[in-house]
Structure formats: structure tokens, C-alpha cells
Amino acid sequence: MYYYTDHARKRMRERSVTKAEIEYCLNNYEFSYTDKKGNPNYIIKTASGRRIKVVVAKDNSKRIITVAD
């Protein structure tokens, strides 16, 4: 289960990214890396050519979506 920060929800609204797209990215990413803070970043390109990046922070056993663009 994923939790979404207010920042992530705001970015999702601004960029018209759905929870379904976030979950698809997390399950089918094409590229991933760990950022300077130690958070995994997942990236996928959709069939329409749109790039979606999801940043996940871990807080104990929770996985928190912090950014989506």
C-alpha cells in the first residue's frame, strides 16, 4: 500500500497524473535510481510518449509517494 503526501497529490493534479498511472509506473518502470536522499525514483514512458517519474520515500514499513511528474 502506498501513501501520498500533499505535495504528491498537488503535483498529480497539476500534471494530470492518476493513481492508476502511478501504480503502473511502480510495477512496470523502465528505469530506476536512488536519489541523494536515498529515495528510489521510478520512471516510465507511456504509449503516448509522456514521461512519468515517481519518488518513493520509506518511513518504517510505509511506502510514501512524495513526488509525481
Domain segments of the chain as ranges: 2-68
pLDDT score, position 64: 72
Task: Read off the pLDDT of residues 40-56 as tens digits, 9 standing for 90 and up.
Answer: 999 999 888 889 999 99
Pairing state between β 51-59 and 40-45? antiparallel
pLDDT score, position 35: 92
pLDDT score, position 25: 93
Task: Read off the pLDDT of residues 15-43 as tens digits, 9 standing for 90 and up.
Answer: 999 999 999 999 999 999 999 989 999 99
Distance in angstroms (rounded) separating the CA atoms of residues 29 and 6: 23
Task: Give yes or no for residue 59 having a pLDDT over 90.
Answer: no
pLDDT score, position 69: 67
**Inter-residue contact 52 to 21 (CB < 8 Å):** yes
